[in-house]
Chain A
Amino acid sequence: MMNLYKLHSSHTKLSTISITSIIAFTLSMPLQANEDDLFFEMPVVLSASRLEQAVSEAPIAITSIDRQIIEASGARTIPEILRLVPGVVIGSNANEWGEEAKQVVTYHGHTDQYSKQMQVLIDGRSIYEPIIGGVNWNMIPINIEDIERIEVSRGPNASTFGSNSFLAVINIITRHASEDQGHYVKARAGNHDIADLTYRYGGSNGDLDYRITATTQNDDGLDAKKNLNTYASDGNVVTRQYSNEIVENHDDIGTGAIDYRIDYQINNNSRLTYQGGYGKTDLEIKKNYASDGIKPQRESDTINAHQFIKLENTVDDNNSFIIQYYYNLQNKTDQSRSNLIEVGAPIDDFSLDLDFGFKSERHNLEFTHFNQTTDNLRLIWGVSAQQDIAKSPYWLYDQGTIRREIYRLFANAEWQINQNNLLNFGALVEENRTLDTEVSPRLALIHKFNNNHSIRIGVSQAIRSPFIAEEFGSTVYSHDLTSGGSPIDFTLLERVLMPNDDLEHETIISREIGYFGRFLEDKLLFNARLFYDRIDDLIQLERINDLPDEIDNYDNSAHIQNNLSSTDITGIELEMDIQPNPSLRFYGNITSLKIKSNDTPRTLRSVEFEQSAPEWTGSLMVIKQFDEHYSGSLEFHYIDEMYWMDVPRNELNEDSNYRTLDLRISKSSRQSGSTSEISLVLKNLLGEYSSYNQAPDDGPVVIHNFTGYIEYAVLFQ
């Protein structure tokens, strides 16, 4: 009889070798493992709450700026990255009003130096400032190195994110701590006194992953050039030119921040995320072209801090939920004394003690439930409660500490009607202490012609609630006058801003048709959006000249915030992402839009709104990986003429379109246990330009000119 053992010991054919046994044959690393190491129960990592909605199935146009684009941009600040989003324009304002210089990000205009019609979130945490609205991008304690991607919802998205998700929503998503393991150091130095340093350490201990990042960023801000215009006798500009001489622009900035993130996998279905951060920004502030008695040259510092805790639980394949709480703090110190104010004898001259500082806090608690009700119906609903606490001697002179609560209930459903049609519908109900209950609904139908082509027809409504300074704003300069050093029992009152009890929120109704297409075997992704937005009750400052007698004021006039304007925005946005091969990528967009004021009669304000966005904008980024070590990118932007809302309309500020070209070249290298990259970034290669086109009076204009820096980054264990 043939030996049974021998019968089965014939040579095994290569084609039937299991992949695991081949590995086994040649690997030399000794391991003690059993099958449980392969078939262990893994935690649910890509849960419903973490998965993004596919762009082709989203109820709204979404631009996702991924890590590759972020790195290729060589950007030092988030607004620089946002330039790549269709319809987004950024500007660096010029201290005209004696406040700090800041970067402003706008989508579809309607914006002065406070861009208040866009919601901005970091990992779902709103950083929309409660007192003065918008976001001061200089003061966000977040490191670009920690960002996974930036998603921008183009168009209102209040049914998901609540009020202020008005013209667009920017959602900055940071990486899970487990993705940043080891030591990472990045240093940057260049002209404009650029000196930045980042250190990050990521580690893990069992089911706990953590990351801590410390960063400091410094530069001398933008340059300014003297105005050398010549004027005719009637005051009109004959020639418009600027000196080549760079003059001091008081906008030096230094920031230091530390942020951390801990991700703890409680069990296979539950995880806890805890994030926190603390940042301090030091700013030089001065009106850049003339002295200002009320807002003299000074320095201000702002502290930003936050705590964020989130529990995610996957109950089963069809249900998961999130409970999250966050706390934001912004504490700005900006105190000074005005120049001497001459009143005239017998009243003594005096100076005002000024406090432009403020403190705002936000507590937010939210519950969200993700439910796959049936194979064809997915539901997301939730509730949230928010409290904003605000204190500001300048904006809330006699209001003390303001506490404002907001409660929200939201539900959004995604119904796969059949293979080709998907219906998204939902609404958010919002209530706060002073305004009525408001509903922000959305409806979008997506029709897929096939796997490569789909169209979206949608309509949505959103509101922008007045921020605290709009709703409660009360700004008063006061001083007890003296004569010969003795009180005269008279208080000088200059009431600059008064609250308006009848103020309503702004509303937008957006109608859109979108198209999404894949071409050339997914090498070319294209989306287009045609939109028509109607905005009503736009909040604007209004001067009141005949104050009631009971209101004590120096000149019997003051400003109030009021719902004064209405506009229509129509336009088209085109976005393309082309990747002919893995080492070459083109990402670009073109936007054309028109703003039309509905005000009757038309006023200067009507013109300001209509000119607040460029008619044409376009961007193109090319990313090329030359070989294993060398890579490069080119980034081009074109911005058509526009006026920011607070820029005076005069000849000085004409012809404001500009083009920019940036270049980045990198070389990466790999040693044992470490990887490093050295990069050269050159910005504004097409010459200088002003992004805020603001040349007040005879003052200097702030410009963006050549900026170059070298970056060196190293990652090691």
Chain B
Amino acid sequence: MDNNQSIGFPEKLAVPLGPLLLLACIFISPAQVFATQHTIIVSSADSNYQKSLVEKIQKNLKALDISADIYNTEQAIDISTSEKLIISIGHEASILIDNKEPSNPRLIVFADTNPDTDPVHRSKPHLSMTQPICQQFKLIRLLNSKWKNVSVIMSSPNNLLTKEMNSCAEKHKLTVKNIKLNDYVNIIDALNTSLPQSDVLLALPDNTVYNAKNIKSILLTTYRHRIPVIGFSESFVRAGALAAIHSTTEQMARQITEIIQKFYTDNSIGSDSQFPVYFDVVTNRSVAKSLGITIPDRESLTNKLKSDNHE
């Protein structure tokens, strides 16, 4: 793979432009090389989270002199230049881009809350906004080696997820009690049934279960049962979950920027399926103290998880 390919230029232009670019590389800095690169970033029009993420990516790219066309889903998106890398952030933007059937290289950044369309996203190179499930079990094991039974509440049956969970749990000597929300009167009923048999509740990012309407009753009910919750966001932990592996928008932006950089360096965005590599473990020490749980400090938890990733 030569340099022209690595920066994503169309093949027909590669040969005549090659010598010129070689000369240019001799006389100008790498940043000036990137100045010729171009990325399209599309996000949802009404998501503050995505807006914040895009702003940070844009800031990073600007520092690298990589130009980017920033669109939201309500704007007319020009993808006529097929060599441009398209980053679609979130479900809505990804669907929008899918519908345009572009031939451009793509990266989908999403949190997989939409069951209808996520399989489509999964078939393309993507970066998940959340951690793989095995990582969550690792965290549980690091938080307390005495915990054995993990409750997981799902909005509906999911054999693939159940298999994956059981496999990861077994690896960490944990047992998963899988609760299907549909089998119960409501989320409280599900919790009251499952928690007496559990040491910890692992909250999966399933917004049918964990949403603004339910979150109070979930945290209050788990606390009443004195069962800690492993959440999936910093806000969840602040609200009352015991811990979560969390990537800030800065960290996600950093990873996306590096993927873009890599693309313009070696014409590859890396693995098809990526997870956040920059993250922190956030903990709620007040909740831990109240539940009488002694947990390691967040830095050592984070370092341990990161070092395990590198092993």
The answer to whether A and B interact is yes
The chain A residues found within 8 Å of chain B, CB to CB, are 1, 4-5, 7-10, 12-46, 48, 50-57, 66-68, 148-149, 175-176, 178-182, 204, 209, 263, 265, 317, 451, 521-522, 582-583, 625, 670, 673-675, 715-717
| 13 additional A-B residue pairs with CB within 8 Å, beyond A19-B164, A35-B50, A42-B212 | A4-B268, A10-B272, A12-B273, A17-B132, A20-B128, A20-B204, A22-B164, A24-B117, A32-B114, A36-B50, A45-B220, A149-B224, A179-B224
Nearest Cβ on chain B to A174's Cβ, whole angstroms: 11
> With A35-B49, A40-B212, A43-B215 in contact, do A12 and B272 touch (Cβ < 8 Å)?
yes
Report A-chain residues with C-beta under 8 Å of the C-beta of B204: 19-20, 23
Report A-chain residues with C-beta under 8 Å of the C-beta of B290: 46, 51-54
Nearest Cβ on chain B to A314's Cβ, whole angstroms: 9
> With A20-B130, A31-B114 in contact, do A175 and B11 touch (Cβ < 8 Å)?
no
What separation, in Å, do the CA atoms of A5 and B216 have in the docked complex? 44
- B: contact size bracket: 35 or more
The chain B residues found within 8 Å of chain A, CB to CB, are 1, 5, 8, 11, 44, 46-50, 89-92, 103, 105-106, 110-119, 121-126, 128-134, 136, 146, 149, 154-161, 164-165, 183-186, 188-189, 196-198, 204-208, 210-213, 215-217, 219-221, 223-224, 226, 232-233, 235-236, 238-240, 267-269, 271-273, 275, 284, 286-287, 289-292, 294
Nearest Cβ on chain A to B93's Cβ, whole angstroms: 9
Q: Which of B132, B146, B155, B186 contacts A521 (CB 8 A)?
A: B146
Contact indicator A9/B124 (Cβ below 8 Å): yes
Q: Which of B119, B235, B269 contacts A24 (CB 8 A)?
A: B119
What separation, in Å, do the CA atoms of A544 and B154 have in the docked complex? 74
Report A-chain residues with C-beta under 8 Å of the C-beta of B122: 12, 17, 21, 24-25
Contact indicator A42/B238 (Cβ below 8 Å): yes
Nearest Cβ on chain B to A210's Cβ, whole angstroms: 13
Nearest Cβ on chain A to B17's Cβ, whole angstroms: 15
For the complex of A and B, the 3 pairs showing the least CB-CB separation, nearest first, are: A24-B118, A20-B112, A46-B240
Nearest Cβ on chain B to A171's Cβ, whole angstroms: 15
Report A-chain residues with C-beta under 8 Å of the C-beta of B130: 18-20, 38
Contact indicator B206/A23 (Cβ below 8 Å): yes
Contact indicator A29/B238 (Cβ below 8 Å): no
> With A21-B128, A22-B158, A38-B207 in contact, do A582 and B235 touch (Cβ < 8 Å)?
no
Q: Which of A5, A16, A29, A41 contacts B115 (CB 8 A)?
A: A29
The residue in chain A whose Cβ has the minimal distance to the Cβ of B112 is: A20
Count of chain A to chain B residue pairs whose CB atoms are closer than 8 Å in the complex: 272
Report B-chain residues with C-beta under 8 Å of the C-beta of A13: 273
What separation, in Å, do the CA atoms of A434 and B236 have in the docked complex? 50
Contact indicator B215/A51 (Cβ below 8 Å): no
Report B-chain residues with C-beta under 8 Å of the C-beta of A57: 289, 292
Contact indicator A673/B132 (Cβ below 8 Å): no
Contact indicator B189/A675 (Cβ below 8 Å): yes
Report A-chain residues with C-beta under 8 Å of the C-beta of B269: 8
Contact indicator B185/A46 (Cβ below 8 Å): no
Nearest Cβ on chain B to A640's Cβ, whole angstroms: 33
Q: Please indicate which of the listed interface residues A35, A38, A39, A149 has the most CB atoms of chain B within 10 Å of its own CB.
A: A35
Q: Which of B92, B111, B118, B216 contacts A176 (CB 8 A)?
A: B216
Report A-chain residues with C-beta under 8 Å of the C-beta of B185: 182, 673-675, 715-717
Report A-chain residues with C-beta under 8 Å of the C-beta of B221: 179
Report A-chain residues with C-beta under 8 Å of the C-beta of B110: 35
Q: Which of A38, A180, A583 contacts B205 (CB 8 A)?
A: A38
Q: Which of A8, A36, A50, A521 contacts B49 (CB 8 A)?
A: A36
What separation, in Å, do the CA atoms of A179 and B225 have in the docked complex? 12
Contact indicator B196/A582 (Cβ below 8 Å): yes
> With A19-B205, A179-B188 in contact, do A34 and B50 touch (Cβ < 8 Å)?
yes
Report B-chain residues with C-beta under 8 Å of the C-beta of A670: 183-184
Contact indicator A27/B115 (Cβ below 8 Å): yes
